[in-house]
Structure 1
Amino acid sequence: MAPGIPAAMERPHFIGIGGAGMSGIAKILARRGAKVAGSDAKESGTAEALRALGATVHIGHAAGHLADDATCVVVSSAIRADNPELLRAAELSIPVVHRSDALASLMDGLRAIAVAGTHGKTTTTSMLAVALSELGLDPSYAIGGDLAGPGTNATHGEGDIFVAEADESDRSFQKYDPEVAIVLNVELDHHANYASMDEIYDSFETFVGKIVPGGTLVVSADQSGAVELTRRVRDLSSLNIVTYGESETADVRVHKITPRGLTSEVTVVLNGKFLTFTVSVPGSHYAHNAVAALAAGVALGIPAHNLASALGKYTGVKRRLQLKGEAAGVQVIDSYAHHPTEMTADLEAMRGAASDSRLLVVFQPHLFSRTQELGTEMGQALALADASVVLDIYPAREDPIPGVTSTLIIDAAKAAGADVTAVHDKAAVPEVIAGMAKPGDLVLTMGAGDVTDLGPQILDHLSS
């Protein structure tokens, strides 16, 4: 057995290996020396990157892709029970391991930082990964997006720290035993798995309860859901709680956030002393993410001034207000925002970064269940743009829900006074936007689906 590889993970087969969470685990195992294989629905840069690490990646799903000597089959909650490779695993009596259990096994013996919250997980995890790497601590990390600098979502480091994005969507974050946990915010989302805020709170309480004795919870002092969670876990005797935010009661208090174009300067008060550092992405929510990362690193014993300097080296994550390019005087930026709170935060950030520009948005709703529950709020968020194009719902893992379409969002946006247009053919969007945009405008492609593919196409149309 190769060093650092759990026995069950020596020859893993990943169904959906190209996914953000799955590919990260596969990359770490490949770097540790495991014989990694898997399949994905379509060819991608991620598949090529995995092959470059020695993994076998099949395109399409078929029973024959699963090798008889596989030690386990790794799945996410998105894999359906009738997947042919999953059925073949049952025939061969090959153990099936959930993605979260696989990730938890990789953290064994390391000092884990788990980053949770309804929004901001990927950015905060990335900030920590970059800062700790910059300080020479060589962490391992698994992130739900690709870093703009190293260009990868996961790596196996030789240091003793493992930074992981902790996903609450299917309760899988309850599998981890972190030394430090960050909770950025707690809101109702993932409506297929949670029926109420009480269920959300219960899930986060379980997650916090898994922090190792003597460990630390870093939690927002500003966001109402996080404040309520803090109240609920306050009596856990083995837990250190560090709050951060603009609240006067915060342990790490945000004193001032100063916009600097597409960056921000942040000043915090920590242990009675002022500390100022730069965040390379605009918007107060990203500044708060950086402060959470700072507090988590300090909880591990890393000097605050060193962390602050290292956080300034963070250059962003793909799809998190990522500049895709400029053509005909128009900048095209990509946003992963798909929940109303995220949408509002990114739209306000772009407003603050370029207050004299028109803001045009191409929004693709993500999931029927989310649109059913939050479509009105999504539409209201789009009122922050000068004009918006709304696409059909990206279904991802869900089947359609009768009566739930992007019209719910469009009607709410118009009721809020927004200039919004429905475009049902995604291929038509670049021409539509090219006809709307003028020099000096900002175009924001927004959503968690394949709307990101439109950025380069829009730039091509603007250039022609």
Structure 2
Amino acid sequence: MNAYPKRIHFIGLCGTAMGSVAVALHQQGWKVTGSDEKPYPPISDFLAKHHIPLSLGYSSENLPKEEALIVVGNAISRGNPELEAVLNRKLLYTSLPELLRTHFLQGRHNIVVAGTHGKTTTSSMIAWIFEVAQKNPSYLIGGIPNNLGQGACFRNPDTSRYVILEGDEYDTAFFDKRSKFLHYLPELTIINNIEFDHADIFSNLEEIKLSFRRLLQLVPSEGMILLNGDDVNCLDIASYASAPLVEVGFSENAGNRILSPWQKEGHCGFTLFGEAFDLPMTGEHNLRNAAMAVAAAHFYGIPLSTIRKALLEFQGVKRRQEIVATINGITIIDDFGHHPTAIRQTLEGLRARYNTARLWALFEPRSNTSRRAVFQKILPEAFAAAEGVIIGAVARAEQLSSSERLNPEQLVLDLTAMGKQAFYEPSTDEIIIRLQSLAQPGDVIVIFSNGSFDGLVKRLQAKAVTTNIPLVVGR
């Protein structure tokens, strides 16, 4: 780190990883600033809590006057006025993954958690297990684990030898189109699953699998690869591994076979390595996430009794099945889900937990994939466990042609044909009005969005305060 001035500025600060690293550097004594558009909780609250100056909007005026390192977020593209000023002034800039690789990760035991789904929860579990085991871990997670209170922590490398990283297959920056996880110098790599996603940068599933094959080729011969033994796409890339590889799953062929799975009263559990584990979460996907975390911790010699204790104490991650309120008998849950598989698994897990409640799913098609028509035919089945569904407006719809764009009206027709109560409401005000006529005590409302959904949770709260409606929520 000594090669850089201890002054740093983040363009696109409110990405979860960017914001988490910014706070970690601030805690190490760096002077940190950043800029972004339309920040939203929890990351905006997290930055404010740690007194990180945030400029709203992008402008050359945001850039530091003194010598500084500029970190360019992967959502920032040419034409951004702040980026253009960086290039014209010939300022020192880098990407977040490259900053991590060069100045944080070399010479350390890096555990990289990859896959289409479950990265944030699995990496959070591993970081917490290592914390409980007193391994003094560093970590970078694309969310805020409730046990840890922040998504990034970079401790002194002399005493913090283990780094747990959420490894994203999305591209690195406008000037580096490789997947982020290819920068992370993995010693142990987990691949939870592989599906098509990120339709804005990948043309098909084979392109995504190519990135994962490249990740496998980076794991050293003394390292380890943990692969989902029940996922056909994971198995398809296994032959590209040069490091030892162990399959984790329910299959009889899995080297680490998950046995005796169960779900009951908000918990799930399983047996692995002859030890019974209990997790205060629901859903088969969380059970699989936990099994991967157990296998990773076991590889590094953490006692099974310590792993079991840590999992039992695991409190989840913000915006992953996060209960934000239970008031007037109505439970409100905030979830980051935006891919059909993630939505389906979350609703199935919640159905097991709230087996007699009516589940209402509110979905904002906001991610670069979910707002496209690529999932038009399979999205209806993702909501099978819900009694009713409300679809919000397609984000940035004007950027896509009608043939490229998800058709929410058709989605509602398909859901209605399945026997669901389904509605398309293009504004949050209309969603609130619809909920007033639908929600009853005992219901569970799940809000799915990888953004703020136009502040829907806070808008619901404000509406309740001003109108005395029975539906009251709050963070």
Length-normalised TM-score, structure 2: 0.89
Would the alpha carbon gap of residues 312 and 19 (structure 1) be closer, same or farther in structure 2, given more than 3 Å must change?
Answer: same
Contact residue 40 and residue 451 of structure 2 kept, 8 A: no
Please show how residues 168-179 of structure 1 align to structure 2 within 5 Å. Answer: 168-170=169-171, 171-179=179-187
Q: Where does structure 2 lack aligned partners over 5 or more consecutive residues? A: 172-178
| Matching residue's letter, 1:139 | P
Which residue, out of 141, 148, 151, partners 1:150?
A: 148
Q: Deviations over 1:407-429 (max 9, x none)?
A: 34323323433321010111232
Matched residue, 2:175: none
Which position in structure 2 is the counterpart of 1:296?
296
Q: Which moved more, 1:41-50 or 1:11-20?
A: 41-50
Shift in alpha-carbon separation, 1:395–1:20, aligned structure 2, 3 A: farther
- In the alignment, is the contact (CA less than 8 A) between 2:330 and 2:471 conserved in 1? no
What's 1:197 paired with? 205
Q: 2:96 aligns with which of 82, 92, 99?
A: 99
1:207-218 paired onto structure 2 within 5 Å: 207-218=215-226
The superposition leaves residues 176-200 of structure 1 with CA deviations (integer Å, 9 ceiling, x where unpaired) of 2111111000111111111122211
**1:222–1:43: structure 2 CA closer, same or farther, 3 Å change rule?**
closer
Where do residues 6-155 of structure 1 align in structure 2 (5 Å cutoff)?
Answer: 7-8=3-4, 10-42=6-38, 46-47=43-44, 49-50=46-47, 53=50, 55-105=52-102, 106-155=104-153
The TM-score, its normalising length taken from structure 1, stands at 0.91
Structure 2 letter corresponding to 1:400: L
Taking the aligned partners of 1:451 and 1:67, their CA distance within structure 2 comes to: 32
Q: C-alpha separation between the residues in 1 aligned to 2:334 and 2:209?
A: 31
Query: In structure 2, which of residues 232, 236, 244 is the aligned counterpart of residue 224 of structure 1?
Result: 232
Does the 8 Å CA contact 1:334/1:452 hold for their aligned counterparts?
A: no
Against the structure 1 CA distance between its residues 440 and 52, is the aligned structure 2 distance closer, same or farther, given a 3 Å change threshold? Answer: closer
Per-residue CA deviations over 1:255-296 (Å, capped at 9, x if unaligned) read 12221222212222x2xxx21121121111101101101111
Distance in 2 separating the partners of 1:29 and 1:283: 35
Letter in 1 for 2:73: S
Residue 299 (structure 1) shift: 1.8
Helix, strand or coil at the partner of 1:210: coil
Deviation of 1:339 after TM superposition, in Å, equals 0.7
Give SS of 2:453's match.
helix
2:281 is paired with a residue whose SS is: coil
State the alpha-carbon separation in 2 of the partners of residues 15 and 288 from structure 1: 35
1:312 aligns with 2:316: no
1:57 positional shift: 2.6
Structure 1 unaligned blocks of 5 or more: none
Q: Which residue of 2 aligns with 1:406?
A: 408
How far off is 1:168 after superposition?
Answer: 0.4
Q: Which amino acid in structure 2 is aligned with residue 10 of structure 1?
A: K
Residue matched to 1:378:
379
**Alpha-carbon contact 1:139-1:157 (below 8 Å) kept:** yes
Q: 1:91 to 1:242 in 2, by over 3 A?
A: same
Q: Secondary structure of 2:126's match?
A: helix
In the comparison of the two structures, how many residue pairs are matched?
Answer: 451
Q: Which amino acid aligns with 2:285?
A: H
Q: Distance in 1 between matches of 2:155 and 2:368?
A: 39
Give the 3 Å change call, closer, same or farther, for CA 295–368 of structure 1 in structure 2.
closer
Contact 2:40–2:452 (Cα < 8 Å) also in 1: no
Measure, in 2, the Cα distance between the counterparts of 1:47 and 1:385. 31
Of 425, 429, 453, the match for 1:423: 425
Deviation at 1:213, TM superposition (A): 3.3
**Sequence identity percentage:** 27
Q: Name the SS for the 1:201 alignment partner.
A: helix
Equivalent-residue separation in structure 1 for 2:3 and 2:51 (angstroms): 19
Alignment-mate amino acid for residue 277 of structure 1: F
Deviations 1:394-448 (A, max 9, x none): 349x933334242343233234333210101112322321321122111111121
Structure 1 pair 55/362, CA: closer, same or farther in 2 (3 Å)?
Answer: closer
CA offsets 1:92-123 (integer angstroms, 9 cap, x no match): 21132122212223222321111100001011
1:83 shift after superposition: 1.4
Contact kept, 8 Å, 2:376 with 2:411, in 1: the verdict is yes
Is the CA contact (8 Å cut-off) linking 2:129 and 2:297 kept in structure 1? no
**Structure 1 position 47, deviation (Å):** 4.8
| Aligned partner letter, 2:15 | G
Aligned match of 2:176: none
- Deviation per CA, 1:279-316: give whole Å up to 9, x if none: 12111110110110111112223223322221222101
1:233 aligned onto 2:240: yes
Shift of 1:44: 5.4
The Cα of 1:463 is off from its aligned counterpart by: 4.5
Secondary structure at the counterpart of residue 448 of structure 1: coil
Q: Which amino acid counterpart does residue 130 of structure 2 have in structure 1?
A: L
Mapped contact 1:255–1:267 kept (Cα < 8 A): yes
Question: Does 1:160 pair with 2:161?
Answer: yes
Deviations 1:122-164 (A, max 9, x none): 1111111111112222211111111123332112234211111
**TM-fit CA distance, 1:385:** 1.1
- Which secondary structure state, in structure 2, belongs to the residue aligned with residue 376 of structure 1? coil
Moved over 6 A (4+): none
1:48 shift after superposition: 5.9
| The 10-residue stretch of structure 1 (5-14 or 191-200) with the greater mean CA deviation from structure 2 | 5-14
- Counterparts in 2 of 1:408 and 1:447: CA distance versus 1, 3 Å: farther
Contact 1:11/1:35 (8 A) holds in 2: yes
1:386 Cα shift?
0.6
Q: Distance in 1 between matches of 2:269 and 2:116?
A: 25
* 1:394 matched residue in structure 2: 395
RMSD: 2.2
Of 253, 267, 280, the residue aligned with 1:249 is 253
Q: Residues of 1 paired with 2:329 and 2:459: CA distance?
A: 16
- 89-98 or 48-57, which deviates more: 48-57
